Amino acid sequence: MGLGHGRVRRRPDGGRKKRALIFWFLWCRVTAVLDTKYKTPNKASNADISQVATYAQAKDSQQAILIYPLPLAQPLNVHLHGLQIRSLSFPVSGNLDEAGQHFLTNLLSNFSPYC
């Protein structure tokens, strides 16, 4: 099991823009594409959904997950053309160990260990 991730890119103004994209390698293939967001909307935007779906299709993944710092008022869990797109939260305030355990439980609840 391993993780890969995007890289930090420089913006034209000299600042840094982190590509918050993780490819989750589990067992023998890219199992899911995880895209972290730092905003706290009520629901996932069409642009965010389209972006993570494109990444997942490019990696031939059947799972795409948008991760927000707070639970969405309207959680996302849709199936589009054989791709499941859902939202999860990872609160960064409070106890990070508890938040991490809760996040991993929710993340791994939908995965099968078979290739």
Rounded mean pLDDT, 87-99: 91
pLDDT value of residue 69? 92
pLDDT value of residue 108? 83
The pLDDT tens digits of the residues spanning 81-90 come to 899 999 999 9
The pLDDT tens digits of the residues spanning 45-70 come to 999 999 999 999 988 888 999 999 99
CA angle (69 as vertex; 61, 77 as ends), nearest 5: 40
pLDDT grade for 78, boundaries at 50, 70 and 90: very high
The pTM score is: 0.75
Query: Distance between CA 34 and CA 53 in Å, rounded?
Result: 10
Where along the chain do its domains lie?
Answer: 2-108
Burial per residue of 41-50, b for 16 or more beta-carbon CB atoms within 10 angstroms, e otherwise: eeebeeebbe
